[in-house]
Structure 1
Amino acid sequence: MAGVCTAGTDRKQQGKESGMKRALISVSDKTGLGDFARGLEELGYEIISTGGTKRALEEAGLNVIGISDVTGFPEIMDGRVKTLHPNVHGALLCVRDNPEHVKQIRDLGIQDIDMVVVNLYPFRETVQKPGVSHEEIIENIDIGGPSMLRSASKNYRFIPVICDPADYEQVLQELRENGETAAETREHLAAKVFRHTARYDAMIADYLTKKTGEQFPESMTITFDKVQDLRYGENPHQNAAFYKGMNPQYSLANAVQLHGKELSYNNIQDGNAAIEILKDFQGQPAAVGLKHMNPCGVGIGNTISEAWDKAYEADPVSIFGGIVALNEPVDEELAEKLSKIFLEIIIAPDFTPEALEILERKKNIRLMKLDTTLEPSNTKKYTNVNDGLLVQDMDVKSVTADELECVTDRKPTEEELRQLLFGWKVVKHVKSNAIVLVKDDMTIGVGAGQMNRVGAAKIAIEQAGPKASGSVMASDAFFPMPDTVEAAAAAGVTAIIQPGGSIKDQLSIDACNQAGIAMVFTGVRHFKH
């Protein structure tokens, strides 16, 4: 131990005599590290480092001071403790225009550290590793790194702190041109550091909270990474950006854009709504046409091309300028059909080379490749309100034929039952109050977002026109009055699926019996506000 302490004292004394500045570097992400450290060395900096970073710098031919030479104490507990020492944090927290602070560190033989370059153990990547153990995850909770970052950032008036390799070039440039970093630069870097450590702590808290089964803890910190700045928000006078969560699997944030101009705010909203609908149609070719967050056409078929034909036929007017989501690859035949109309986005698991050649003739259309077999990565849905956040479970509830309760004299036929379940999957994703008419594996009428249910029914029926005869109806919530059933009967609807649960259910049941309509209750509602 004495030898270590003596070496540390000797190296510190050498630094004092030379007047060299010191940079403490300890990083997990070693992108650009060698060039940056070499640039610092050329500017007269001594490099202090630890563990794997020290080895990487030495292999790059740089002279490096080990952290034990600074602390006078060896790294212990497999590296768990190496930088938590007054010789490090005293140097980082000293207010350099405070004579008492300066006197204290000089009396104690603590030498200045003039720059900190630290990023943290790869906690997120560790959690995502297949088969990773809880013990390995815990070992990737960084302690010394956040402590150094926070100490130096608190003292950013004097010390530049870098946690992102993207900032290396700017720091080197300012040092070369001015001999120091600008005050504004140091402040921006410190703000980034606190975002970096907050994000890191949020990931750890999220992991442990989920492990303990806590549903709605007393406080919640969620973190997102920027995907891109957007040209504007919902309207041109609103600024906007797109962020993704920590594990965006079945998410538009995970899609690969193969062609077209960048996504807009509204594109992303609509694209997300389209793939949410598509998720309920696994195991069969399905196509979704969507406009302004509501489906304008949904179809299923024996092939993806047939499914698209039905989705298009459902509402060929509204699909103009809309979003299309498909759960099977786009081939040449389908691409020819899709190319004949104006679409904003096509989302699919893949596109054949022939399909891409056809669709890329349209300069602006966005072609998004997304694996539609992925499971949603988050079971919570977040909705912001003014100065607040609503948090709820995602609506992933589905029903099977065995769970339905037939409440009318006439039971639905096997075909009606199949169409009712199809309609129930769609109406779940339509803004309330919602009514959907279905026939022949396709929507034929969608009534969305009305202030009363019969109003939504009238819109759906009007859209369906003569096709309403022989169709089935799905409602996202119960009928408080028999007027919706009466409208359905007049249009020729033969079966209805709805949650049930109104104190006036019997009025609707009686109206169905009188009209010969079969009606089933799900016991589940799907309000979507």
Structure 2
Amino acid sequence: MSIKRALVSVSNKEGLVPFVQALAEQGVEIISTGGTSKALQEAGVKVTGISEVTGFPEIMDGRVKTLHPMIHGGLLAVRENESHVQQMKENGISPIDLVVVNLYPFKETIAKENAAFEDAIENIDIGGPSMLRSAAKNHAYVTVIVDPADYSKVLEEVQQNQEVSDETRKKLAAKTFRHTAAYDALIAEYLTSMVEEENPESFTVTYEKKQDLRYGENPHQKAAFYKAPLGTKTSIAQAEQLHGKELSYNNINDADAALQIVREFTDPAVVAVKHMNPCGVGTGSSVEEAFARAFEADPVSIFGGIIASNVEINAAAAQKMSEIFLEIIIAPSFSDEAKEILTKKKNIRLLTLELGEDKKQEKKLTTVRGGLLVQDEDAYGLDQANISVPTKREPTEKEWEDLKLAWKVVKHIKSNAIVLTKDQMTIGVGAGQMNRVGAAKIAIEQAGEKAQGSALGSDAFFPMNDTVEAAAKAGITAIIQPGGSVKDEDSIKKADEYGIAMVFTGVRHFKH
């Protein structure tokens, strides 16, 4: 369809003036509102004010200006419908062929610290989405643009063909409805949180594309990475990549898993992850000490792993890390010396990310075929738990430290999960098993002789005393678990029989 008349009203004025100037040079009449009209006039573009078209002033602080039959009639009329054309003539309505609109900055407003509710409400656009939806519905005759990135494509077609193709109009219409849907979803999410509605009758969320991915979990699967518009700052989606090839689908999943674990710690900590589970976690007085322990925890599985640190990577740690093949290293920062050492490896990805305290809780979304499961994040910490010691012996000070480490790690491991810890590091991890004693046997086998004097953490209660029996035979001296089984007493008796100190938390950490 040819473009003779355009309505332009934007908040984001990036690239607007040259685009509209080029349209005007093609003989297109420009209609505009408020600040957009002023900006175009200052640039020397002849503009028809919206009030000149509607015959009605902009009122109520600009809340009402485009909601008028002279506008929407010009947008919605079916040009090949004789009745529509006749009604346009009778009412003095002229068709509008192009709409260039982007919306009030609602997202930017609520992103501000201590954003006022009143400001958020005032930045809910009404006229803009209405014009966009009208134009997109009638895309057979109207071209609609919501994104400055599309200016050049439309202009090219207008200059070459004096019209915009059907294919382009359809694509722009689809993009417009995605845009308005995302805008409304963000408003709905904000207002729903304001009234503290837990599980609304419909669940609307929106995400913005961060990047296309080469493929998904496997090369035959297509994939892309999206980020929440106002997501937590401690998300992998917010990380800055300093070096290396682009992240893959599996890299992102593993990096997210590593970040969730390392955020549990305040002292220097390093987490190594393979296939969404930690293969080694170490803490220490320095990052190099923490990495040495994470490496020692499982020097085989760490090969090709993802590393996350909660403190800066220094030269000493970087040197040790450079000696093995790692896919990714994530940290708040890298010293200049560390970057020099690590960037010698062409493909290793180095990412920086703010890892300070982030109290923002996000919903955990899990898709099932044809449906979606929604739950709160598992942000429950040991300091919130109702700790009790049902055994005759209480843990020693050292055992308490090992138990705390085990509990911080086991909540992030696929269930059924068992973790063994000792001397500020994991020494055995049993993940994703169909029975709990099976997970314990895997962790114990991995730990070998190191299991002597270690602590065991379990993500859920013991249905029988067989896990305690296996732990005792391996020389484990302390256990932390939720408790709550009908057979708790059997496990307590078995622990007392072997002199094991056992702690109940009252909190389960299943992770499927």
TM over 0.5: yes
Select which of 255, 260, 263 maps to 1:276.
260
Q: 1:262 aligns with which of 236, 246, 258?
A: 246
For 1:430, give the aligned amino acid.
Answer: I
Aligned to 1:16: none
Gaps of 5+ in 2: none
Using the TM superposition, give the Cα deviation of residue 402 of structure 1 relative to its aligned residue in structure 2, in angstroms. Answer: 8.0
Kept in 2: contact 1:250–1:377 (CA 8 A): no
User: What is the SS of the residue equivalent to 2:171?
Assistant: helix
SS in 2 for 1:403: coil
Secondary structure at 2:224's aligned position in 1? strand
Matched, 1:196 2:143: no
Q: Distance in 1 between matches of 2:3 and 2:339?
A: 59
Q: What does the per-residue CA deviation read over 1:90-115, in whole Å, with 9 as the maximum and x for residues that have no partner?
A: 00000001111011001111111110
Q: Distance in 2 between matches of 1:216 and 1:251?
A: 24
- Whether the aligned pair in 2 keeps the contact of 1:250 and 1:376 (CA below 8 Å) is no
For 1:113 and 1:493, how far apart are their aligned partners in 2?
A: 78
Question: How many Å separate the matches in 2 of 1:88 and 1:394?
Answer: 46
Q: What displacement does 1:333 show? A: 1.2
Which residue in the other structure is 1:77 paired with? 60
Q: Displacement, 1:131?
A: 2.8
**Contact 2:3-2:98 within 8 A present in 1 as well:** no
Distance 2:173 2:104 in 1: 19
Whether the 8 Å CA contact 2:33–2:49 is kept in 1: the answer is yes
Residue in structure 1 matching 2:13, options 30, 43, 50: 30
In structure 2, the CA distance between the partners of 1:127 and 1:217, relative to structure 1 (3 Å rule), is: same
Tell me, yes or no, if the aligned pair for 2:273 and 2:305 is still in contact at 8 Å: yes
1:476 and 1:136 mapped to 2: Cα distance? Answer: 44
Partner of 1:5: none
1:354 to partner: Cα distance: 1.3
Q: In structure 1, the residue corresponding to 2:20 is in which secondary structure?
A: helix
2:144 is the alignment partner of 1:154: no
Aligned residues: CA RMSD:
1.2
Name the counterpart of 2:425. Answer: 442
2:43 and 2:307 map into 1 onto residues whose CA distance is: 51
| Counterpart mapping for 1:127-142 below 5 A | 127-142=110-125
Partner of 1:296 in structure 2?
A: 279
Q: Quick check: 402-411 or 120-129, which moved more?
A: 402-411
Structure-2 residue corresponding to 1:236: 219
Alignment coverage as a number of residue pairs = 510
Normalised by the size of structure 2, how large is the TM-score? 0.98
**Structure 2 counterpart of 1:95, which letter?**
V
- Structure 2 CA distance for partners of 1:418 and 1:20, relative to 1, 3 Å: closer
Q: Deviations over 1:406-439 (max 9, x none)?
A: 0111111111112111110000001000000000
Aligned AA (2:257): A
2 CA distance for matches of 1:378 and 1:475? 25
Please give the alpha-carbon distance, in whole angstroms, between the structure 2 residues aligned to 1:64 and 1:130: 37
Aligned AA for 2:333?
A: D
Residue of structure 2 in register with 1:358 after alignment? 341
Q: 1:44 aligns with which of 1, 8, 27?
A: 27
- 1:14 corresponds in structure 2 to none
Taking the aligned partners of 2:382 and 2:330, their CA distance within structure 1 comes to 27
CA displacement, residues 64-116 of structure 1 (integer Å, 9 cap, x when unaligned)? 11000000111001101000000000000000011110110011111111100
Secondary structure at the aligned position of 2:375 is classed as strand
Give the direction of change, closer, same or farther, for the CA distance of 1:20–1:334 in structure 2 (3 Å limit).
Answer: closer
Question: Which residue, 235, 238, 241 being the options, matches 1:251?
Answer: 235
Instruction: Report deviation, 1:250.
Output: 1.4
Match of 1:480 in 2: 463
Partner of 2:268: 285
Identity of aligned residues (%): 64
- Which residue is 2:389 aligned to? 406
- Asked whether the equivalents of residues 401 and 421 of structure 1 are also in contact (C-alpha less than 8 Å), the reply is no
**Distance (whole Å) between structure 2 residues aligned to residue 320 and residue 60 of structure 1:** 60
Say which SS state the counterpart of residue 61 (structure 1) adopts. Answer: coil
SS at 2:270 equivalent = strand
2:371 to 388, 406, 410: 388
Q: CA deviation at 1:177?
A: 1.1
Identify the residue that residue 93 of structure 1 maps to in structure 2. Answer: 76
Distance in structure 2 (CA, Å) of the matches to 1:291 and 1:346: 13
Separation (CA, whole Å) in 2 of partners of 1:131 and 1:373 = 19
Separation in 1, partners of 2:359, 2:159: 48
Equivalent residue, structure 2, for 1:179: 162
Measured at CA, do residues 164 and 401 of structure 1 come closer, stay the same or move farther in structure 2, by a change above 3 Å? closer
State whether residues 224 and 245 of structure 1, in contact with CA within 8 Å, keep that contact through their aligned partners in structure 2.
yes
- What is aligned with 1:427? 410
Secondary structure of the 1:520 match is strand
> Using the alignment, how far apart are the partners of 1:439 and 1:295 within structure 2?
16
1:305-316 → structure 2 map (5 Å cutoff): 305-316=288-299
With over 3 angstroms needed to count, the CA separation of the structure-2 counterparts of 1:401 and 1:302, relative to structure 1, is: farther
User: Match of 2:499?
Assistant: 516
Other-structure match for 1:528 = 511
**Separation of aligned partners in 2, 1:113 and 1:454:** 71
Q: Distance in 2 between matches of 1:179 and 1:490?
A: 84
Residue from 330, 351, 356 that aligns with 2:313? 330
Change (3 A) 1:334 1:94: same
Q: Which amino acid aligns with 1:263?
A: L
Q: State the match for 1:10 in structure 2.
A: none
- The letter of the residue matching 1:58 is Q
TM-score normalized by structure 1?
Answer: 0.95
Deviation at 1:401, TM superposition (A): 9.4
- Residues 411 and 518 in structure 1, CA contact (< 8 A), matched pair in contact too: yes
Contact 1:294/1:430 (<8 A) preserved: yes
The unaligned stretches of length 5 or more in structure 1 are 1-18
Find the partner of 2:38 among 45, 50, 55.
55
> Please, which of 64, 80, 83 is the counterpart of residue 47 of structure 2?
64
- The residue aligned with 1:499 is 482
Letter of the 2:239 counterpart: A
Q: Deviations over 1:326-360 (max 9, x none)?
A: 00011111111111110000000011111111111
8 A Cα contact 2:385 2:505, kept in partner: no
The answer to whether the 8 Å contact 1:379/1:393 transfers is: yes
Deviation readout 1:21-57 (Å, 9 max, x if unpaired): 1100000111100111011011110110000111111
Rounded Cα–Cα distance in structure 2 between residues aligned with 1:235 and 1:132:
43
Is the contact between residue 247 and residue 377 of structure 1 (CA under 8 Å) also seen in structure 2? no
1:13 aligns with none
Letter in 2 for 1:267: N
Task: Report SS of the residue matched to 1:446.
Answer: strand
CA contact 2:3–2:163 (8 Å) conserved in 1: no
Quote the Cα distance in structure 1 between the aligned partners of 2:6 and 2:469: 79
